[in-house]
Amino acid sequence: MTTFIATLKVKPGFEAEFERLQAELSQITHATEPDTIVYDVLRHRDQPGTYVVYGRFKDDAAFQLHQGAADHERLVPPILATVTGEMDLQFFEFVA
Domain parsing of the chain, residue ranges: 2-93
To the nearest 10 degrees (0 to 180), the angle between helices 15-32 and 70-81 is 170
Closest Cα partner for 8 from 95, 76, 93? 76
Q: Tell me the pLDDT of the chain averaged across its residues.
A: 96
Task: Label residue 72 by pLDDT band (50, 70, 90).
Answer: very high
pLDDT at 73: 94
The 10s digit of each residue's pLDDT in 32-65 is 999 999 999 999 999 999 999 999 999 999 999 9
Tell me the β-bridge partners of 89.
6
- 2-93 has CATH 3.40.50.300 classification: no
The whole-model pTM stands at 0.92
